[in-house]
Structure 1
Amino acid sequence: MAELTRRTFATAGAAGLGLLLCTPTANALDRALRLTGTRSVSTAGTTLEQVATGGGTATYSRLGAGPGWPLVVRSDLATPQSGRDDRRRALSAFVQFTDLHITDTESPARFEYLHPFIGSAHRPQEALGTVATSALVERVNSVRQGPFTGRPFDLMVTTGDNTDNHELIELDWFLKVLNGGSVTPNSGATDAYEGVQNSGNHEFWNPGKPGADDYSAKGFPQLPGLLEAGLKAFTAPGLDVPWFCTFGNHDDSIVGSLPAQIPGIDAWYTSKYKVIGKDESTSKKLADAIKKGASVPVAELFGGGGTIREITPDARRRPFSTAEFVRAHLDSANTGPGPVGHGFTSANADGKNVYYTFRIAPGITGISLDTTTDAGFADGSIGLAQYSWVESTLKRNSSTYYDFFGRKVTHGVTDELFVLFSHHTSGSMGNLLPDSRHLLDPRLDGNAFVALLKRFPNVLAWVNGHTHLNKITPHAGNTPQQGFWEINTASHVDFPQHARIVEVADNADGTLSLFTTLIEAEAPYAVDYDARTPQALASLYRELSYNDIHVDLGRVGDATDHNTELLLVNPLA
């Protein structure tokens, strides 16, 4: 069978978001998609079939269904053998969610007014995030199986930043969306929206207030009643498969970047005053302090002068501790499709060590890491104790590995294949500030962790998030058996709003294949501006993210980061 190689494709410009062949003809793309179809069980409901496509971001653009993204075979770490589709045996199929950023947009402990300097401080779509995440759950429930092996999904793993500002109410919404049940994405006043988007401030899109704001100038529509519709209760179906949870920096830090141990911070979260805007000079100074990691005057950040709105205080906005996060997952009321604790056990209940192992499928072990540090900054690292625990875990089920000096070690143990999950990527693990949970524990960076994983041929992949972009990186070792793939997936808060299916298959020829397929929320590409159903709101969530004035379409990634077959030498062959 002819192969689609990673050199066959190049991505189109960011404006079109389409996938073109190096010979940019529609016929070539059609041939690639047909070949993808012959290799798959079903492409329905995935980006193999169709992809959200806009017309560029110079002005406001409506989205439509563009052509799907064909499968790209990546032979960086192993050579593909012909006939493997006929020999393929499925070992596992799972789904990754990441960076959901379930957001309480009415909270006073936010600094949306800094978004001209820190783009992620505010997003025009974020008030619709809860219902949009439920639409992503619906997509998983409808697809149900891996598109290339046909294996039913074993589970879903969410790789951190599950909440945006680690509030108790955000955690409650997150758990209900994944487990199923009635969700009311509103805090404070029960009958009114009390955030920045009906304030009349020109720096925010005010969908119900005609005026000259910065977003309307780009062409954002006027949609009266939208914010009120976003606050209404809806019924989340919940996942049909078990799910596991990994911790992210937004789950343990103030807006994901400030130290967690700021005295009196609870009072700011539950305050009745919300800052809507400050003068440009003050805003720039505060933004610079946050970005540089300098001392941030919290009283000025969440209070002080400027335009202040009085809102309804809500005790449910209090920030949760790491221990409370874990215990909420362990609560039997939050078991949903299982398992109890969603990976966390009583050993994690004190909130200090929130890493664990779990069974993905027979012969495949998942390792969920905690790469956060609560000392501040968005990036992470790994503590020496956790690093040593990972090393011991890998040794326990690796009959062959390499020691620190590169010497081959063999011993009589039962082999397992390993897939690791974390929030941070290898390139975003340079924050070596001490974590208050382990003050005396030295921190190690991403390079040190990659070097560790290369010592263990049984490691297949490291799956992560944090960057909000699609990127797949091969990590080659000293021998062909020592390579692994790092699979980084875009967030569901910023465009392109993806989740990823990963299938593990044995090709019965000395190689393994990891199939990665991106999916989008189950919501129409074309938005009905008059509708206020959950599906319509989820559709609008996607379109607004594409048109955000801070959007970075480079986060879509290249063809080699989308729907891929990642070849590996089978360490157990």
Structure 2
Amino acid sequence: MSRIRSVASSALGVNRRTLLAATGAVSLSAGVGYALRPTDSQAATTHPATAAAAADEAPLAASGKAWALPLAPYTRGTTLATLASPRGTGGYRRLGDGPGWKRVVRDDLATPKSGRTNRRTALAAFVQLTDLHLIDSQHPLRLEYLRSTDVHAWRPQEALTVPGAVSLVERVNALRGGPVTGSPLHFAMTTGDNTDNNAKSELDWFLKVMSGGRITPNTGDPRQYEGVQNSGVKQYWQPDDAVRDADKQLGFPHVEGFLAAAIRELRSPGLNIPWYSTVGNHDSMPLGCYASHGDNYLTEYAVGGKKLMNLPASEAKKLQDAIKNAKDPKGVAFRDLLKAQARSMRSVTPDESRAPYTPAEYIRAHLDPAHRGHGPVGHGYSTANLDAGTQYYSFRIADDVIGISLDTTDAGGHYEGSIGSGQLKWLDKTLRDNKDSYAIVFSHHTSKTMDNTRRDPARPNERRVGGAEVVALLASHRNVLAWVNGHIHKNVITPHSAPDGRSFWEISTASHVDFPQLARIIEVVDNKDGTLSLFTTLIESSAPHRTDFTDLSQPGLAALYRELSFNAPGARTDLAGDRNDRNTELVLKKD
């Protein structure tokens, strides 16, 4: 693959040098991440007139922390050095400092050559955040009552997702570039499920966490929490109450003032580098599974003054099975269940901010100047996306690397994904038109969880495409290096190869709502020996590993968020993946 190319002649169509000169922006070597025309991305539309009209709106988004030269490699602040580890055995276990995870060299797709450490040059470095699941824990549509049939259905840490996410932003801001190369971080990418209930309240919190601002993670009564954790229902942890609920019987603590602290205003500094956004199923559909936009009953229930907090196990099992098996993708049976349980509901304070948001409202919120932070405008999304009704786009990461963000959510309902045939054609064209640039592809769903091919109600005649077909397409392009995603809440790194020797890595990263609550740094380097390497390094939030139940400060809540997630009844113990899925060097042949 030739490294000499004209950006102006690519399908993404921008002359980088002209833009740099016009804006006075610093060079990429000084830590700039920039979008190629985020307001008229070729991802957004197939209408040239629309794209041309928006062409003059493109900014360059510069990192808020730029270095003139690469820094020295480091491990501090990453899981290479240390990570939260449990103390003791049985019952509620406290966390403390534990040994880090060593880096593993993976040669599944190419043989690493000696001496590459001294030859390599950095091409790009960025951070992936995924499955933040910012939760309005008092929202009427929450399904906490499924816990009567499945202990996994509600997490004791759910009221602390905002301070936990702020602590992750603080960790990213403290990073000294890429830990392997010292290269400045070009950007951060969220790979979906940024919110949990598809609620406007959560979307506002997410955008303020990422771009900076004051957040009050409370809806309903501004004076107090109203939800399952002060309901007296013993299947939920009642932190402020001395009642021996089911979780306290397992050793969960009594934490006086917990709920007041959980809904207290806090401030996010916002990321000090540009950030981009990819959409997930929880961002697209109520509860991440119901194609129920426009259902007046569910909308009115979401913003109204009643909330179901308890459900018999037999009824909960029926609802859970319907969700898992996609028997009710439009939420009709769910609506009927809520109506049948009307007399069992409790009164809460109504709140319009709990209303579900549409895909168009999701994009408009990203385009709001109040949420620009360090840019770029729209965080990848554009006015052309609004015109075309799409949520996918492309952008330039560095001179020789482009990024592609897909929309793998299926608007027909269910939490598994797919893409439309039109998006597949666009992906193929974008890769062909930029064949002289390496490509990193981002999505929410993994290749194995793209098996939901329900038709999009807005495009009923369009075929839906599953993960196997996307893998085949990506493997047919020599410039694809990686497909970076989330959704499964687990670290998994998978090699993909085609018979002709073309190959790429699929990098799936654990969530930030379930333990071990991680994000991932990815560095792309040219080894100058016919191979490339992708270095992956996992990071935790900046919260201390040890908790103090009397410390309800912002860092204290973030630390408690992590510890509660470890101790959540039924919490999976395999989400960190094995050593080959964590801190790695992934070697590839270079064409």
Q: Does 1:45 align with 2:82?
A: no
Gaps of 5+ in 1: 1-38, 399-414
- Tell me the SS of whatever aligns to 2:536: strand
The CA deviation at 1:510 is 0.5
Equivalenced residues, count: 516
Post-superposition Cα deviations, 1:169-217, rounded to whole Å, max 9, x if no partner, equal 1000000000111111000100100010111111111101122222111
**Corresponding residue for residue 467 of structure 2:** 446
SS of match in other structure, 1:349: helix
Q: In the alignment, what sits opposite 1:547?
A: 567
Q: Which residue of 100, 106, 123 maps to 1:91? A: 123
Q: 1:290 aligns with which of 307, 312, 323?
A: 323
**Which amino acid in the other structure matches residue 519 of structure 1?**
I
Q: 1:52 to 1:144 in 2, by over 3 A?
A: same
Decide whether the 8 Å contact of 1:321 with 1:351 is kept in 2. Answer: no
Specify the code of the residue in structure 1 equivalent to 2:445: H
User: Who is 1:533 aligned against?
Assistant: 553
Structure-2 residue corresponding to 1:343: 380
Q: Equivalents in 1 of 2:388, 2:131: separation in Å?
A: 21
Alignment correspondent of 2:457: 436
Shift of 1:121: 3.5
Q: State the alpha-carbon separation in 2 of the partners of residues 499 and 74 from structure 1.
A: 20
Does structure 1 residue 469 correspond to structure 2 residue 490?
A: yes
Match of 2:256 among 210, 215, 224: 224
Q: CA deviation at 1:266?
A: 1.0
Pair 1:561-2:581 in alignment: yes
CA distance in 2, matches of 1:442, 1:55: 51
Conserved? CA contact 1:260–1:374, under 8 Å:
no
Say whether residues 1:148 and 2:180 are aligned partners. yes
Counterpart position of 1:266 = 299
325, 340, 348: which one aligns with 1:304: 340
User: Which residue does 1:509 correspond to in 2?
Assistant: 529
Matches within 5 A, 1:116-265: 116-118=148-150, 121-261=153-293, 263-264=295-296, 265=298
Instruction: Kindly report which structure 2 residues correspond to 1:475-494, keeping only aligned pairs within 5 A, or say none.
Output: 475-480=496-501, 482-494=502-514
Cα distance in 1 between the residues matched to 2:152 and 2:125: 32
* Contact persistence 1:527–1:540 (CA under 8 A): yes
Tell me by how many angstroms 1:440 deviates. Answer: 1.4
Counterpart CA distance in 1 for 2:397 and 2:337 is 43
The one-letter amino acid paired with 1:539 is A
CA distance in 1, matches of 2:79, 2:339: 44
Distance 2:89 2:485 in 1: 28
> CA-to-partner distance for each residue in 1:497-552, whole Å, 9 max, x for gaps?
10000000011001001000000000010001101110000000000000000200
Give 1:397 deviation, angstroms.
1.8
**Change beyond 3 A, Cα 1:493–1:303:** farther
Matches of 1:301 and 1:359, distance apart in 2:
47
* 1:395 and 2:427 correspond: no
Which residue, out of 396, 402, 416, partners 2:437? 416
Report Cα offsets for 1:251-272 as digits up to 9, x if no partner.
0111111223362121011110
SS of residue in 2 equivalent to 1:535: helix
203 and 303 in structure 1: CA distance in 2 versus 1, 3 angstrom threshold:
farther
The equivalent position to 2:544 in structure 1, one of 497, 503, 524, is 524
Query: Is the counterpart of residue 457 in structure 1 residue 457 in structure 2?
Result: no
**CA deviation after TM superposition for structure 1 residue 450, in Å:** 0.3
TM-score, length of structure 1 as denominator length: 0.88
Contact 2:319 2:334 in 1 (8 A): no
Alignment RMSD (CA, Å)? 1.5
Contact 2:240 2:257 in 1 (8 A): yes
Residues in 2 aligned to 1:543 and 1:422: alpha-carbon distance in whole angstroms: 29
**Partner AA of 1:356 in structure 2:** Y
Q: Kindly indicate whether the alpha-carbon contact (under 8 Å) linking 2:149 and 2:314 is maintained by their aligned counterparts in 1.
A: no
Residue 79 of structure 1, CA deviation: 0.5
Letter in 2 for 1:338: G
- For residues 255 and 118 of structure 1, what CA distance do their matches in structure 2 show? 17
Q: Structure 1 pair 375/108, CA: closer, same or farther in 2 (3 Å)?
A: same
Could you tell me which residue of structure 1 aligns to residue 34 of structure 2?
A: none
Cα offset, 1:289, TM superposition: 1.9
- Please give the per-residue CA displacement for 1:356-409, whole angstroms capped at 9, x wherever unaligned: 0011111100000000012221100111000000000111122xxxxxxxxxxx
Matched, 1:497 2:525: no
Residues 40 and 565 from structure 1, CA distance in 2 versus in 1: closer, same or farther, beyond 3 angstroms? Answer: farther
Residues of 2 paired with 1:447 and 1:121: CA distance?
30
Alpha-carbon contact 2:511-2:517 (below 8 Å) kept: yes
Contact 1:164 1:170 in 2 (8 A): yes
Q: Summarize deviations over 1:129-187 as a string: whole Å, max 9, x none.
A: 01110000000000131100000110000000000011111000000000111111000
Matched AA of 2:320:
A
In 2, the alpha carbon distance for the partners of 1:254 and 1:119 equals 22
Change (3 A) 1:87 1:172: same
1:420 and 1:218 map into 2 onto residues whose CA distance is 43
Is it true that 1:425 corresponds to 2:446 in the alignment? Answer: yes
Cα distance in 1 between the residues matched to 2:439 and 2:105: 22
Counterpart amino acid of 1:289? A
Partner of 1:333: 370
> Percent identical across equivalent pairs?
49
Give the structure 1 partner of residue 9 of structure 2. Answer: none
String of CA shifts for 1:304-325, please: whole Å, max 9, x gaps: 3364221100001100000000
Give, in whole Å, the separation in 2 of the partners of 1:433 and 1:142.
43
Provide the rounded CA distance (Å) in 1 between the counterparts of 2:409 and 2:184.
Answer: 32
Output the CA distance in 2 between the equivalents of 1:457 and 1:299.
48
The CA distance in 1 between the partners of 2:283 and 2:500, in whole Å, is: 38
Name the residue aligned to 2:389: 352
- Cα contact 2:212–2:371 (8 A) shared by 1: no
Match of 1:472, SS state, is strand
Contact 2:149–2:313 (Cα < 8 Å) also in 1? no
SS of 2:575's equivalent in the other structure is: helix
CA separation in 1, counterparts of 2:101 and 2:157? 26
1:41–1:149: 8 Å Cα contact kept in structure 2?
yes
Q: Which amino acid aligns with 2:394?
A: T
| Alpha-carbon distance in 1 for matches of 2:168, 2:403 | 23
CA contact (8 A) 1:502 1:514 kept: yes
Q: 3-state DSSP class of the match of 1:276?
A: coil
Contact 1:97 / 1:500 at 8 angstroms: preserved in 2? Answer: yes
Equivalent pair of 2:492/2:509 in contact (CA under 8 Å): yes
Distance change >3 Å, CA 362–CA 115, structure 1 → 2: farther
Aligned mates of 1:362, 1:116 — CA distance in 2 = 54
1:6 is aligned to none
In the TM superposition, what whole-angstrom CA distance separates every residue of 1:433-489 from its partner, at most 9, and x where no partner exists?
111232211001100110001101110000000000000000022233x11000000
